[in-house]
Amino acid sequence: MSRSLTGRVALVTGAAKGIGAGIAKAMAVAGASVVVNFATDRAGAEGVVGEIEAAGGNALAVQANVSVVAEVEHLCAEAVAKFGTLDILVNNASVFAFAPLEQTTDEQLHKMLDTNLWGTIVTCREALKYFGRDGGCIVNIGSMSSERFSPGAVAYTASKAGITGVTGVLAVELASRGIRVNQINPGAVDTEGARTIGAMSDEARAAHVARTPLGRVGTPADIASVAVFLASDDAGWLTGECLAVSGGLR
């Protein structure tokens, strides 16, 4: 990977594991200083920071629940206190619980909408205070669930579809400031979270592979490489795009 992000500062939410950790490490390899956000998994976030630093990069772990405005304010302030500015924001923090709507509790509904959608909006709002005159880049992590519907995913799908709206509006709203806003919709990706809910069992993996034209499930690295591209000058004339990074799944 080229050093396409040298001199830039990236904030990645939900980066203690899975896709977020993959993006944080890939951006560090590309030369960025990286703020590794986590909500509860301090050990995971510090492990990501340790890997980045061991490879010669710069990173900082900061705890914040992105659904809480005061914690988002703290997150961005800590990032800037350490690295001086923000150039790249990756809104990756996400939670999910899958069940028929009638069996979904108020708490589960609020947690998904508050973390996934509200958290994306308020993190964008706060981070924008620190983007410089040279502009920057926001990468939102959506989901193929907003394009390919499945039962048991009303709140999760609604939250991710809402992010698509955020991406489109902010791409237009922020263009005059030189801030590009794009979105990645991952397909089936093998992460710790997917394994925890059984989405990577042998049976589930076989089903994912069968409906994915490229014949395999994704990895965090598959998503990370696209995030680095979108954050780089190579994507300098891309904004408002929503990319399916899904092995061809539609």
Q: Which residues are catalytic?
A: 156
| Alpha carbons within 13 A on the beta-carbon side of 28 | 25
Helix (H, G, I), strand (E, B) or coil at 89: strand
Report residue 243: phi and psi, to 5°.
Answer: -100, 125
CA distance 50 to 6: 19
Strand-pair category, 179-186 with 136-141: parallel
Q: Which residues pair with 9 in a beta bridge?
A: 33
- Helix-strand-coil percent breakdown of the chain, rounded to 5? 50, 15, 35
Judge contact between 154 and 104, C-beta under 8 A: yes
In the DSSP assignment, the letter for residue 209 is H
Task: Check: CB of residue 37 under 8 Å from CB of residue 14.
Answer: yes
Q: Are 79 and 60 in contact (CB under 8 A)?
A: yes
State the amino acid at position 225 in one-letter form.
S
CB atoms near residue 238 (< 10 Å): 15
